[in-house]
Amino acid sequence: MRTSNKNEDLKILENKLNYTFRNKSFLKNSLTHSSYANEKNLGIINSNERLEFLGDAILNLIVSQYLYKKYPNHSEGELTKIRAKVVCESSLAYVAREIGVGDYLLLGKGEESTGGRNRESILADTTEAIIGAVYMDSDFKETNKQLLDRFEDNIVKAVEKGELFSDYKTELQEKYQRSPNSKIEYHIFKEEGPEHNKIFYMNVFLNENLLGSGKGRNKKEAEQMAAKSALFLLGKNNE
């Protein structure tokens, strides 16, 4: 595992990204987690959070533009749901794992010891930061090319095959949002494993009635799996 920002390591990452940075400091900055910046007294402004902010906006714009042009017969609501699947945390973390981004992160000791290199939220945020870094190092045209090379297959899966990372929580919420007295809540009922590699078990309730259960490597994933279980059981009951 590579855990530094040495130039020889960054060259390997650049090969995986299929992009060579003119200014390596943008790439280094995109891989610097706030926990590391704080621990080394670099200041939060020198973490990847500003690039993450920029990358999030660019990603949403490029995916939105692509969907608008590619699918002229889809409604605003349909396009919004597709985009949500493509740019959701699980999708971004998946892209990061494909590239091996976790190996190049600079983390504080606390995040390192609790499995931060494989944490969904950290990987997703870093993907956005790298997008921001590419944009700052090049221009919109180059960033657009880089993103579509990486995400176009995910878009096709989401649109044409109905696959990818479904937002089951939103789907479940939409099922009941028209009823003013409906209240959906998620509660952890069990945790297993060491601190750095926990499994969370989650129940989802509608007005205190159990709808479904699920498990995941973090609370968000467990909530999604509980919502997926609820949707499946609701579908079975309506058959």
CA proximity to 3, closest of 89, 100, 72 = 100
In tens, the pLDDT along 200-220 reads 999 999 988 999 999 987 887
67 lies in some domain: yes
Residue 119 sits in the same domain as residue 228: no
Residue 88 sits in the same domain as residue 150: yes
What CATH number should be reported for the domain holding residue 226? 3.30.160.20
Contact 134, 148 (CB under 8 A): no
Residue 91 sits in the same domain as residue 198: no
- For the entire predicted model, the pTM comes to 0.69
Catalytic residues: 56, 128
Residue 223: domain span: 168-237
CA proximity to 132, closest of 11, 29, 18 = 29
Cα–chain-centroid distance for residue 57?
A: 14
Strands (E), the chain: 184-192, 199-206, 209-216
The whole-angstrom separation of Cα 119 and Cα 111 is 9
Which residue's structure tokens are 């621990």?
39
1 lies in some domain: no
In tens, the pLDDT along 79-102 reads 998 888 888 887 888 888 888 899
**At a CB cut-off of 8 Å and minimum separation 6, what does 186 contact?**
202, 203, 204, 205, 223, 226
Residue 33, CA distances (Å) to 6, 28, 123 in order: 16, 10, 10
Domains contained in the chain, number: 2
2 lies in some domain: no
Point out the residues of the chain with pLDDT beneath 50. 1-3
